[in-house]
Amino acid sequence: MKNVDKPKLLSGGNPQIPKGDGDSPVQAYIAAMPGWKRGIGRSLDALIARTVPEVRKAVRWNSPFYGIEGQGWFLSFHCFTKYIKITFLNGSSLRPVPPVESKHEAVRYFHIHEDDQLDEELLASWIRQASELPGEHMF
């Protein structure tokens, strides 16, 4: 049996996954997420796909990105040591505004910690709203 190299985990346990388009690199990233973060990654990915059926997926800068063809990216997430950071690229336009500020005026973050109960209704609302806004960094 051939030994398959597992993706390297960068600082904070973020998987190092090569840039790629489509579901496969995103699923490779999620599979490499350490510990409790893997289940959250699966749940987020499924929630995004249910909420925005036409979503386009890719891995950029060692993070899964989600966007709409012709509009650009609207969301990404990234593993840190104690939480997963969801980035809403036009988050300041969402209602309610996601709680964590960025040095970029339009960007807002939402952090998920290990023992947090996900408010899927609120997350789905943010995802839906974000998908309807102009995105960033065209494909």
- pLDDT tier, 24 (very low <50, low <70, confident <90, very high otherwise): very high
The mean pLDDT value of the chain amounts to 93
CA dihedral 103, 132, 33, 109 (to 10 degrees): 30
pLDDT above 50: residue 64: yes
**Which of 4-8, 56-60, 61-65, 86-90 has the weakest average pLDDT?**
4-8
What CATH architecture does domain 12-130 belong to? Answer: Alpha-Beta Complex (3.90)
Among 134, 136, 137, 120, which residue's Cα sits nearest to residue 51?
A: 120
- Per-residue pLDDT of 71-120, as tens digits, reads 999 999 999 999 999 999 999 999 999 999 999 999 999 999 999 999 99
pLDDT, mean of residues 39-65: 97
**How many Å apart are CA 87 and CA 91, to the nearest integer?**
8
Residue 101 is predicted with a pLDDT of 96
